[in-house]
């Protein structure tokens, strides 16, 4: 049974929400950051990176303390306010092509450790430790873990009805996204939602594995909770039918000392290779791969489709690694090898063409997206997907809700 928790969120005042909320720090160019930090005193970027001018001169623990201090400043200046009692939120993100709607709530580390909450991605220890230190010093998080739950018709109906009420926020961003947030503060509705999720056997982390792992590490280091942490994590709960899964495409710097002709001949041993020339071709089904090489697009189709009960061996990302990236291009560690980079599938394949044409990369590969059932099978069997198998939307705005721990 899954347990969800209401919480006392800290959030911008209604008049400042569009000025406070921001994308992740890494999403901005240097010019964009400089402009926002110089001309928007309300941007939550001031909280997240108060030492942005000379970050290399500030130790991580000092920077995290500065983050905590800046959050207090925002609260003192009434840029941010705290709810009067623990509640839930309903949050909708409307992009150019999709509408995502889900419930923001706390989920427990107990469920995480008892495998009620399941994962499908590996984590990097140094990133987990770094974010654990951030949580310990700053005492808050503003980016919820994206969590999938099995589609529930009664919850869907409730959401549709609740959306008819007046939201506390409804604003658009320069990325042409519309963000709408409702407070769920009625005790009866909070209790009903808790009871509905108690009937859910499993939930799946879609995005945010490091955040959950960091909170868990912090709790394990302080089992008596002497530092006063809240042993739960802010989560954006969304029906598995409402998420959007993109592939991560691969671009490689070189052909591992093969000539173009040698490389194509090696591919021909395993694939039907069709030159699509200038057609912007992407795979349309599993076990197909697109390739861009030396000015031409290619369709690669496995000559013999794999017949195996091994869940990982059925994944296109694993097949590409087993048949091409490792044996032909000599790539071993897909997470750390400097010869390979990744382009999320929500970007046009023209991006791959341009990067290869510029000469920095020799070849690009386009994959067919993983689906929800594949993610669940991997998680249910306590397995880990190959690195960069999925790019999942929606993405949350920073500073929209703050979860104090």
Q: Which uninterrupted H or E stretch holds 148? A: strand 145-149
The tokens for 392 are 């999942």
The answer to whether the Cα torsion of 156, 207, 177, 106 is positive or negative is positive
Phi, psi dihedral angles at 299 (to 5 degrees): -105, 125
- Of residues 305 and 94, more confidence is placed in 94
Contact call for residues 362 and 252 (beta carbons, < 8 A): yes
d(CA 373, CA 126): 30
Q: Which domains does the chain have, with CATH numbers?
A: 4-245+393-404 (3.90.1530.10), 248-368 (3.30.1760)
Q: Does the pLDDT value for residue 55 go beyond 70?
A: no
**Cα radius of gyration (the chain):** 23
Among candidates 363, 351, 367, which has minimal Cα distance to 255? Answer: 363
Report pLDDT for 335. 87
Strand, helix or coil for residue 169: strand
Place of tokens 């032909």: 328
The answer to whether the Cα torsion of 308, 314, 317, 318 is positive or negative is negative
291-310 average pLDDT score: 89
pLDDT digits (tens, 9 = 90+) for 115-128: 999 999 989 899 99
The answer to whether the Cα torsion of 317, 305, 291, 258 is positive or negative is positive
The tokens for 271 are 């694939």
Contacts of 228 (CB under 8 A, 6+ apart): none
Report pLDDT for 310. 86
Q: Which uninterrupted H or E stretch holds 137? A: helix 125-138
Percent of the chain with pLDDT over 70: 98
Percent of the chain with pLDDT over 90: 84
139-145 average pLDDT score: 95
Place of tokens 């997907």: 385
Q: Give the pLDDT band (50/70/90) at residue 59.
A: confident
Report pLDDT for 53. 53
């Amino acid at each position: 049974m899954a347990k969800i928790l209401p919480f006392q969120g800290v959030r911008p005042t209604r008049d400042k929400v569009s000025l406070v909320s921001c994308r992740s720090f890494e999403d901005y160019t240097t010019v964009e950051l400089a402009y926002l930090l110089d001309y928007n005193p309300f941007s939550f970027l001031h909280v997240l990176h108060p030492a942005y001018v000379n970050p290399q001169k500030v130790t991580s623990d000092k920077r995290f303390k500065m983050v905590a201090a800046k959050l207090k400043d925002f609260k003192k200046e009434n840029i941010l306010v705290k709810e009067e009692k623990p509640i839930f939120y309903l949050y909708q993100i409307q992009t150019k092509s999709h509408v995502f709607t889900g419930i923001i709530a706390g989920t427990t580390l107990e469920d995480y450790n008892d495998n009620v909450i399941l994962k499908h991605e590996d984590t990097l220890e140094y990133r987990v430790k770094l974010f654990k230190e951030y949580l310990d010093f700053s005492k808050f998080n503003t980016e919820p873990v994206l969590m999938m739950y099995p589609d529930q018709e009664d919850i869907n109906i409730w959401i549709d009805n609740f959306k008819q009420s007046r939201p506390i926020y409804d604003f658009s961003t320069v990325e042409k996204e519309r963000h709408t947030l409702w407070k769920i503060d009625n005790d009866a509705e909070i209790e009903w939602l808790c009871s509905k999720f108690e009937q859910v056997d499993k939930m799946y982390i879609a995005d945010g594995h490091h955040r959950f792992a960091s909170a868990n590490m912090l709790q394990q280091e302080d089992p008596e909770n002497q530092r006063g942490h809240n042993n739960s994590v802010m989560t954006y709960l969304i029906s598995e039918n409402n998420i959007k899964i993109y592939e991560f495409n691969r671009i490689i710097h070189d052909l591992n000392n093969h000539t173009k002709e040698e490389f194509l001949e090696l591919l021909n041993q395993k694939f039907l290779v069709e030159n699509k020339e200038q057609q912007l071709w992407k795979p349309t089904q599993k076990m197909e791969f697109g390739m861009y090489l030396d000015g031409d697009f290619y369709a690669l189709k496995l000559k013999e489709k794999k017949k195996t009960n091994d869940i990982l061996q059925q994944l296109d990302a694993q097949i590409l690694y087993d048949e091409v990236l490792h044996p032909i291009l000599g790539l071993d560690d897909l997470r750390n090898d400097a010869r390979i980079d990744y382009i999320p599938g929500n970007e046009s394949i023209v991006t791959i063409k341009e990067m290869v044409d510029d000469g920095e990369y020799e070849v690009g590969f386009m994959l067919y997206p993983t689906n929800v059932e594949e993610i669940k099978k991997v998680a249910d069997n306590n397995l880990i997907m190959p690195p960069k198998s999925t790019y999942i939307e929606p993405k949350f705005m920073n500073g929209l809700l703050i979860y104090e721990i």
